[in-house]
Amino acid sequence: MLYLFRFFVLVLRFYRKLGPDPSTSSQLVVSPPSQPSSEGSEETPLRRAASEPNLKVKNKLKKHLNTRKSPLTRKESAPPTIKHRAADTQDSSPSSSSTPVSGCSSPNDSLPNENGLLPSAGGLSHECVSFCVCVCAGLVYDSQMLKHQCTCGDNSSHPEHAGRIQSIWSRLQERGLRGQCETIRGRKATLEELQSVHSERHVLLYGTNPLNRLKLDNRKLAGILSQRMFVMLPCGGVGVDNDTIWNESHTSTASRMAAGSVIELAFKVAKGEIKNGFAVVRPPGHHADPSNPMGFCYFNSVAIAAKQLQHKLNISKILIVDWDVHHGNGTQEVFYRDPSVLYISLHRYDNGNFFPGSGSPAEVGAGAGEGFNVNVAWTGGLEPPMGDTEYLAAFRSVVIPIAQEFSPDVVLVSAGFDAAEGNPAPLGGYKVSAKCFSFLTHQLMSLAGGRLVLALEGGHDLTAICDASEACVSALLGIQDAMPEEVLLQKPNANAIRSLQTVIQIQSQCFVFAVLLLLLLLFFFCACVCGDQH
């Protein structure tokens, strides 16, 4: 039934809503955080036009969805899965002076309560909701992550450098956004937390430095460290590959700080201590697989946070949306067979000719996880490049319908901004605006009761990533600029339409296999029943 409903909704939305619909466009109004919404209406529809999903489902479909028995739905009798703890009001970084802000209005106060996406406190199984009063957005950052730099000392030859997060953190301060958020204290992920995703060998190789190795088993370390292989970079520094630098003193600490900070923020959001949040972290993580670092990544922060939510808070369903322009091969590998984590990636693919080469639409998951891996793989190069219209169309026709069907408890976003306009062609080449990223963030806030965590991944043009980060944090606070009318009324380019059609076609093939399997099981069941009667 999962594939049947998914296929029907995808086809309906794609073919009926892909084109412009000027008659349905209306101005989107979002209340500022200092003025909680007082609207009593149950439905306040979002702006609906050519590039935005119509989030309503026909009454019959809604009735069918609410009454069907889905393996993805939590049992009504299930016990609460999240326990509350006192909020941590300490500062997250030695360089930060922001203090927690209480009494902020919810970014979702003015969003429609459709399909049970924003249930009341009485309808949630999470006991913390009934007495948590803090609905602020959270930010996490730590200056220790700045120390991960190539030993050559020349950042100009390394796209992933400390200036990325330093610039973002300064921009948020300049715009007054840090003062409107609660600043969370970052921490290093423990070796045990890292091993929830990565192998012990990988964790010991890249999660330790000469100082903390003194506390570990020397015999085990000696054998593992002897296997380390580094390359000399053209700049004169050292790397684990031609792109990914290594600093023996600081890389492990910065990588563990990035992972631990995302975990800490995700836990506070999941427990209801804060409404949502943005993790200003580096190095990125979504390319790191269980056994290998690559693409500037050492530990998969978002995947580790998801695993910890599963293991320590018993979160049933987690949605990971990855809008970095590069496919998150590491995240896909970790959850490829896991039906409790839905991974949706939007990335430049070009038939496997763009780094890292993975992320085909045909990669849909395996075993119990089949159908829980969705790759919106853009193909067609940069003629023309994908932009706002194409990304909004993908959200409308693929991302939001599937996410609504999955009905996650928490949403994590690998928020890479290398699809933003300004990044060079080898590292992106697309033209997604900061306003579009704000709009996508706002769309995801309609899921999981607004429990949304964004973690910085890629993005190497400083102006672009600062603009996009500012826009996303503003959206988390309930502040959003309207999308330009010409973008909302524009049709996606032909390459984008073909790419989206491919995704829908492959999902429908999964549905066919699921139906055949169901019929086979019914046949054997009937045969057994008939045999017992005889």
Kindly report the three-state secondary structure assignment for every residue of 273-332: CCCEEEECCCCCCCCCCCCCCECCECCCHHHHHHHHHHHHHCCCCEEEEECCCCCCHHHH
Give the side-chain half-sphere CA count within 13 A for 376.
28
Higher-confidence residue: 309 or 134?
309
d(CA 299, CA 294): 10
For the stretch 174-190, pLDDT in tens is: 999 999 999 999 999 99
Higher-confidence residue: 20 or 460?
460
Pairing relationship of beta strands 137-140 and 341-348 according to DSSP bridges: unpaired
Calculate mean pLDDT across residues 464-491: 94
**532 — pLDDT class (breaks 50, 70, 90):** low
Residue 111: DSSP 8-state = S
> Is residue 22 scored above 80 in pLDDT?
no
Calculate mean pLDDT across residues 16-21: 49
- By 3-state DSSP, what share of the chain in percent is helix, strand and coil, each rounded to 5? 40, 10, 50
> Is residue 321 scored above 80 in pLDDT?
yes
pLDDT at 330: 99
pLDDT at 215: 79
Amino acid in position 58:
K
pLDDT at 95: 40
φ, ψ for residue 130, nearest 5 deg: -70, -20
d(CA 155, CA 145): 15
> Is residue 9 scored above 90 in pLDDT?
no
Higher-confidence residue: 425 or 58?
425
pLDDT at 337: 98
Calculate mean pLDDT across residues 493-511: 89
pLDDT at 527: 65
Nearest to 181 by CA among 138, 142, 133: 138
pLDDT at 211: 84
d(CA 68, CA 53): 24
Q: Catalytic: which of 126, 161, 250, 287?
A: 287
pLDDT at 516: 57
d(CA 453, CA 435): 18
CA 314 → CA 85, 262, 267, 305, 410, distances in Å?
15, 17, 11, 12, 12
Mean pLDDT lowest among 58-67, 230-239, 265-274, 522-531: 58-67
Higher-confidence residue: 211 or 314?
314
pLDDT at 412: 99
Peptide bond into 283 cis (omega under 30): yes
Nearest to 397 by CA among 498, 487, 302, 315: 498
For the stretch 200-235, pLDDT in tens is: 999 999 999 888 887 787 777 777 887 788 899 999
Calculate mean pLDDT across residues 342-370: 97
Mean pLDDT lowest among 16-25, 144-153, 379-388: 16-25
> Is residue 476 scored above 60 in pLDDT?
yes
Reported pTM: 0.75
Active site residue 534: no
pLDDT at 5: 55
**169 — pLDDT class (breaks 50, 70, 90):** very high
Q: What percent of the chain has pLDDT over 70?
A: 70
Calculate mean pLDDT across residues 509-521: 60
> Is residue 33 scored above 80 in pLDDT?
no
Give the side-chain half-sphere CA count within 13 A for 287.
23
CB 141 within 8 A of CB 72: no
d(CA 414, CA 328): 8
Rg, Å, the chain Cα set: 23
> Is residue 299 scored above 90 in pLDDT?
yes
CB 208 within 8 A of CB 195: no
Buried b / exposed e along 70-98 (16+ C-beta atoms within 10 A):
eebeeeeeeeebbebeebbeebbbeebeb
CA angle 404, 371, 70 (to 5 degrees): 55
**18 — pLDDT class (breaks 50, 70, 90):** low
d(CA 479, CA 457): 23
Peptide bond into 356 cis (omega under 30): yes
Token pair for residue 423? 């990044």
Can you say whether the dihedral through the CA atoms of 7, 8, 9, 11 is positive or negative?
positive
Higher-confidence residue: 516 or 300?
300
Best-predicted range by mean pLDDT among 86-90, 157-161, 253-257, 502-506?
A: 253-257
Terminal-residue alpha carbon distance, the chain: 32
Best-predicted range by mean pLDDT among 65-69, 233-237, 287-291, 524-528?
A: 287-291
* Lookup result for tokens 């990988």: 202
How many C-beta neighbours within 10 Å does residue 263 have?
Answer: 28
Q: Which residues contact 105 (CB under 8 A, 6 or more apart)?
A: 31, 32, 33, 34, 35, 36, 37, 135, 478
pLDDT at 2: 53
Token pair for residue 323? 């809008």
Give 344's strand partners.
321, 374
Give the side-chain half-sphere CA count within 13 A for 170.
8
Number of residues assigned to the chain: 534
Domains and CATH numbers, the chain: 2-37+44-66+81-150+161-533 (3.40.800.20)
Helices 462-476 & 434-444, crossing angle to 10 degrees?
A: 30
Calculate mean pLDDT across residues 481-490: 88
How many C-beta neighbours within 10 Å does residue 137 have?
Answer: 27
For the stretch 390-421, pLDDT in tens is: 999 999 999 999 999 999 999 999 999 999 99
Average pLDDT for the chain = 80
